[in-house]
Amino acid sequence: MAHDCDPTPGLLGALLRPGWAEPARAAYASVPAGTIASVLSGGSKDNAPTAVPAFAMRERPVTVAEFELFTTAHPEWRRDRVLAVFADGNYLRMPQGQAAPSPEQAITNVSWFAAQAYCESEQARLPTWYEWEYVAAADGLHADARKDPAWRAQILGWYSQPASKDQLRVGGTPNFYGVQNMHGLIWEWVDDFNALLISADSRNQGDPDQLQYCGAGAISLQDRENFAILMRVALLSSLSGSDSTKDLGFRCARAAAQ
């Protein structure tokens, strides 16, 4: 069953809006193979580094204009046509009183199912958690800046700010891998979000069952000083694939050879 059709087109219409230029073809940055000492232990008490094969990641999050073109080519993902099993009532909804979206604004209020479908249209997929964490660990000069107190303070400063009423446009200074907006803009879907189970002893408050989603098995959290990354784990582990929020968007990834 699809969502009821809105009296207005909601966040996105059926066609690219007048005056909006067609977006350039998405650029992907090559990311070499390496290892990541993840905040997720994977069941290992010594938190042995996880190998990350080489891959390519979209340099920027998907924008409003890009997603609008996608819904034009694939109208089954429009707000007024999407099946309810694939998207909740917030899907592509523009909050009341918010200014009209900019074409270069990061798309949000998108479900995991819609994000995955978009990435498939680019012959890509959503990144895995380890791929996302691996790239997000970099600053402008270092592949892994997580032990730098100044860098961590900057990241936490971004996360401590109240959510902007109007989303910021994508772009900015690239990190070590040439990827932009890994922090400070939006939250992002990952392919394996439903495997990010949090074990009960990882939280000091709240009901752990409320923030768990079915997966292979519970894991423990490591390196609690990287609180900003742990907040992302907590958010993603609380979601189902049809959920969408005003601050949650996505980018895509590909195998290294593509």
- Which pLDDT band holds residue 33 (cuts at 50, 70, 90)? very high
- Does any domain span residue 3? no
pLDDT, one tens digit per residue, over 147-178 is 898 888 888 877 766 655 556 789 999 999 99
- Does any domain span residue 83? yes
Mode of pairing for the β-strands spanning 187-188 and 50-52: unpaired
- Does any domain span residue 151? yes
- Which pLDDT band holds residue 17 (cuts at 50, 70, 90)? low
Q: Report DSSP state, residue 77.
A: G
Number of domains in the chain: 1
22 pLDDT more than 80? no
User: What SS3 class is residue 255?
Assistant: strand
What is the C-alpha separation between 20 and 166, in angstroms, rounded?
18
pLDDT, one tens digit per residue, over 182-233 is 998 899 999 998 887 654 343 333 333 333 333 333 344 555 556 777 788 8
pLDDT, one tens digit per residue, over 116-150 is 999 999 999 999 999 999 999 999 999 999 889 88
Are 214 and 169 in contact, with CB atoms under 8 Å apart? no
45 versus 51: the higher-pLDDT residue is: 51
254 versus 217: the higher-pLDDT residue is: 254
E-only strand ranges, the chain: 28-31, 34-36, 50-52, 55-58, 187-188, 248-249, 253-255
- Does any domain span residue 221? no
Range of the domain at 93: 28-192+240-255
- Does any domain span residue 100? yes
11 pLDDT more than 70? no
- Does any domain span residue 70? yes
Q: Residue 154's pLDDT is what?
A: 84
Give the sign of the dihedral formed by CA 105, CA 108, CA 109, CA 110: positive
Q: Residue 23's pLDDT is what?
A: 65
The percent of residues in the chain predicted with pLDDT above 90, rounded, is: 48
CA distances (Å), origin 240, targets 108, 185, 192, 228 = 16, 22, 11, 21
Kindly tell me the burial class for residue 257, based on how many C-beta atoms sit within 10 Å of its own C-beta (0-12, 13-18, 19 or more).
exposed
- Does any domain span residue 231? no
Q: Residue 3's pLDDT is what?
A: 45
- Which pLDDT band holds residue 38 (cuts at 50, 70, 90)? confident
- Does any domain span residue 204? no
Kindly tell me the burial class for residue 247, based on how many C-beta atoms sit within 10 Å of its own C-beta (0-12, 13-18, 19 or more).
middle
Instruction: Return mean pLDDT, the chain.
Output: 79
For the ranges 93-97, 103-107, 142-146, 246-250, which has the lowest average pLDDT? 93-97
Q: What is the pTM of this model?
A: 0.81
250 pLDDT more than 80? yes
Residue 10 Ramachandran class (φ > 0 left, ψ -120 to 50 alpha, else beta): left
The CATH number that applies at residue 137 is: 3.90.1580.10
What is the C-alpha separation between 246 and 118, in angstroms, rounded?
18
